[in-house]
Amino acid sequence: MHQHQDDNNSNLNLNELVAQYKLLKNGESHRFLDEEAFEQIVDFFSEKDDTVEAQTAASIGLQQFPYSVELMFKKADMLIANRKFNAALRMLQEASVYDKNNISLYILKIDALLALDKTLEAIETFEEALVRFEGEEKIELLFELADVFDDYEHFDRIFDCLAAILEIEPNNDEALYKICFWADFTGKLEESIRLHLSIIDNHPYNEIAWFNLAAAYQSLKLYEKAIDAYLYAIVIDEKFDFAYRNLGDAYLRLKQYNNAIEVLQKVLELGRPEDVIYEAIAHCYHKLGNTMQARVNYKKALAFNENDATLHYKIATTYIADRQWQKAINHLEVALRFNKNSKAFNLAMGECKMQLLQYQEALYFFGSVIANRPNNVAGWQYYLLCLMEVEAYDSALENCKTALIATNYKPILLYYYSAILFFNGKSKEGLLQLENAMAIAPKLVKKFLEIVPNILQYHQVVDIIAKHKKRSKK
């Protein structure tokens, strides 16, 4: 009779099972629902995020099948979802009487204990579970617990779970991929290095282990070791694009720009073109002084987003390096449309305008920097230089006094103050300020000589510089 009823249940689709459940719940005539049917019904409501109804279905199911461990676990799961953590623990205690060797028991118990801030009990349960299970079951348990620890932000334990999986199964790709992130996130980089060196000792052709080892070295800024490990990963898998990508970054950090360009171009060959890769290649060319190739690659990056203000600025800097001021201005105008208060954009635009002898416009852009950042030394330097270029020495003097106060008397501005005093014919005061500047920052005198190159005709200036050079040597 029961076998016939079970067969009837198996022929019913899920919607019909739910309909029969609702009849049962309302006390109406219904077909017999077996234990598996109740499990399906609980899952149905759970997947619809109706955890209250799912809990109710599990309770009704347990009335029909009071020794169903699976329904006990499902009810405990729904109690946790409904934040009834103590009730869930009581349900799990009852379930443990019938089955202590089910991984759901430990996953749900740890979930509930962590929710109640009973961390020590949760860790004890975790350690008990590690001893109880082996092989595939233990791996499944550890993956599930890693997710639980993630929910409650016990991030170190996530790393521990993944490391434990790799001790059982060193070639587990899912654990290898995940542990790379968590090693960096938790700062467990030395542990990661030891773990992956151990894996590589026994599995030397595991390219993901080599990659993870390299990534840990890279996070510790051990770039030479990182490069060696990435190269091993690439030898094993010559299409390992993430290894090429990170290898490029490591070369870039070591200022090995030609090597960086080579591997970053390999990234473009292996996958879809990306703006960040073109931008990195452009940066390398820029550092090598190849402004044309830098510009080409910056523009390729820009093709992905024409409104990227930073890329417009970087293209402008290549034109500035080539003294193509108007072309630089064209890109800076676009950049400033998106960020009119950017210090870098305004300084670059001011420099271009000054080079084109458009001093009033230059003063406007340098003034914008000062207005937004009164303590910005570079903004004041450019502003004062521009005033000196138009021989507005009185204005330069007053502004320099303001600049010194605003920047807490930065030494470089003392040199500017001295230079402006000389331009104003106040040589005695100029000598005094030069003496002050040299006493604080003698190495910055080169800037002073750039501003007033003919100043060395004053023997007093030569004497002051020589005196401080002697002191520096001593």
Give the contacts of 264 (CB within 8 A, at least 6 positions apart). 244, 245, 248, 277, 280, 281, 284
pLDDT at res. 168 = 94
pLDDT at res. 1 = 37
pLDDT at res. 6 = 43
Residue closest to 201 by CA, chosen among 174, 162, 170: 170
Query: What is the widest separation between alpha-carbon atoms in the chain?
Result: 119
Q: How many CB atoms lie within 10 A of CB 13?
A: 8
Distance separating alpha carbons of residues 285 and 317, to the nearest angstrom: 13
What is the per-residue DSSP string for 332-391?
HHHHHHH-TT-HHHHHHHHHHHHHTT-HHHHHHHHHHHHHH-TT-HHHHHHHHHHHHHTT
Taking the CA atoms of residue 74, residue 80, residue 82 and residue 84 in that order, the dihedral angle to the nearest 10 degrees is 110
End-to-end CA distance of the chain: 107
Is 334 within 8 Å of 345 (Cβ atoms)?
A: no
Reading the block at residue 162, the tokens are 């993944």
Is 277 within 8 Å of 264 (Cβ atoms)?
A: yes
- Kindly report, residue by residue over 441-462, the tens digit of the pLDDT: 888 888 888 888 877 777 888 8
Q: How many CB atoms lie within 10 A of CB 243?
A: 28
Residue boundaries of the structural domains of the chain: 1-99, 409-474
Residues belonging to the chain: 474
pLDDT at res. 430 = 87
CATH code: domain 1-99 is: 1.25.40
Reading the block at residue 385, the tokens are 């230089």
Reading the block at residue 223, the tokens are 């770039």
Q: What share of the chain is helix, strand, coil (3-state, %, to 5)?
A: 80, 0, 20
Q: Which stretches of the chain score pLDDT less than 50? A: 1-11
pLDDT at res. 321 = 96
Taking the CA atoms of residue 170, residue 173, residue 176 and residue 178 in that order, the dihedral angle to the nearest 10 degrees is -140
**Residue 67 belongs to what H/E stretch?**
none
Distance separating alpha carbons of residues 244 and 319, to the nearest angstrom: 30
